[in-house]
Amino acid sequence: MKILHVIPSVGPLRGGPSQALRSMVTALTSAGVSVDVATTDDNGPLRLPVVCGVPVDEQNAKFHYFPRQTKFYTFSWPLTKWLAAHTHDYDVVHIHALFSYPATIAALFSAKRHVPYVVRPLGTLTHWGIRNRRPWLKKISLQLLEAKVLRRAAFVHFTAEDERSQASELGISHRAVVIPNIVEYRETPGKKPGTGRAFEVLFLSRIDPIKGLDLLLEAFRDIKGQVPYARLTIAGSGSHEFIKSLQKRATDLGIDNAICWRDFVSGKEKQRLLSESDVFVLPSYSENFGIAAVEAMAASMPIVITDAVGIHRDVMQARAGLVVPCVVSDVAAALVELYRQPALRAELGSNGRALVQRQFSSRAVARSLISCYEEAISSGQR
């Protein structure tokens, strides 16, 4: 089986989608699947330091990078020419994105070459995804382009049931499959002794309006009135202007001295933050999956998430965290409850680790992906 993944960017500054793709590639190659990746050199506001036009060996797969020629829509003519020449070499094309040039052109060439394709929409078909960020342009594009891409797909790959449910409300016929992202369990030491009475709250994700940081700052002001030793770490990359506006809001609320602002972190530094914090919080207004929250559960951390995070039903069923609406008082109350109940924090952390091992491991997800590809191939689209 030979699979081609097409994604606009695998840059780390693009957050969860890039990370999820790399985890998927590792899981599939470990299961004996031949994998290639076609992408651009995009890395948010920057570019990846890669050689374009030459296959690069990464994660036991071939990565093909092409220059991004526009930030908007991630247009790349060299990527177009390569897909025109090579799409027919693969059994299945797995497309990661919608409302993006690489996704649209990959679907077009797959259909022309009679190669079945799978589309992972990355949350673009949720209520938030449709109604925010150029909604008028998305409405036109959905009617002219994406609807056809979805109808022709062998499967539309959602990462959580909530994402699938919201997409179904658009009334576009498609064949859905729900397969979660991969987050591997890592043995992480508990919070180090000697950190005093501080109650450490961690937000670790892309810094964007969708992530609900306005809720978190307001909630943290309320928390400080009840938990004087509470501290909040906000780690992630985002627009300089947006981060400055959040920092000004923190100053206006009188909580700036209790907040540590960090840039994007990964590897050992990310693990250190997870191990030294008491609670992880993700108060997003919309999240098709929630990789950062699952990483926290993998590190045995109790989590607080909103009911707009895709995995919230799994978290509730496993009793792995507290799920609240996108309301300041509810976010604050959940964090205060966890401060007051250390035993509950330990229970939720243990349950979260078990959930990750059971449901989000590379082996479990790889089996589901391979089954999806086999069914796409046998559907007779080739």
* 191 within a domain of the structure (yes/no): no
Answer yes or no: do 335 and 372 share one domain. no
Does residue 189 lie in a domain region?
A: no
Residue 192 lies in a domain: no
For residues 213 and 124, membership in a common domain is answered with no
Do 161 and 229 have their domain in common? no
CA distance 276 to 22: 26
Please report, as a single letter, which amino acid is at residue 343.
Answer: A
What is the number of domains present in the chain? 2
Which long-range contacts does 186-192 make (Cβ < 8 Å, 24+ apart)?
A: 186/271, 186/298, 186/299, 188/271, 188/274, 188/275, 188/298, 188/299, 188/300, 189/275, 190/275, 190/300, 191/275, 191/276, 191/277, 191/278, 192/275, 192/276
Q: Are residues 152 and 250 in the same domain?
A: no
C-alpha distances in Å from residue 332, one per residue of 21, 215, 216, 323: 33, 9, 8, 12
Look at residue 187 and tell me if it is in a domain.
no
Full pLDDT tens readout for the chain, 382 residues: 999 999 999 999 888 899 899 999 999 999 999 999 999 999 988 999 999 999 999 999 999 999 999 998 999 999 999 999 999 999 999 999 999 999 999 999 999 999 999 999 999 999 988 888 788 888 899 999 999 999 999 999 999 999 999 999 999 999 999 999 998 766 555 554 444 568 999 999 999 999 999 999 999 999 999 999 999 999 999 999 999 999 999 999 999 999 999 999 988 999 999 999 999 999 999 999 999 999 999 999 999 999 999 999 999 999 999 999 999 999 999 999 999 999 999 999 999 999 999 999 999 999 999 999 999 999 854 4
Statement to judge: residues 217 and 104 lie in one domain: no
Residue 203 lies in a domain: yes
Spatial CB neighbours of 356, under 8 Å, sequence gap ≥ 6: 183, 184, 185, 294, 297, 298
Q: Is residue 295 part of a domain?
A: yes
* Residue at 352 is within a domain: yes
Residues 301 and 316 in one domain: yes
| Residue matched to tokens 């009475």 | 197
293 shares a domain with 271: yes
Residues of the domain holding 280: 199-359
Residues 211 and 104 occupy one common structural domain: no
Are both 210 and 159 inside the same structural domain? no
CATH of the domain at 101: 3.40.50.2000
Q: Are residues 25 and 50 in the same domain?
A: yes
Pair 252, 104 in one domain: no
- Model pTM? 0.84
Residues 134, 232 within the same domain: no
Asked, for residue 194, whether it belongs to a domain, the answer is no
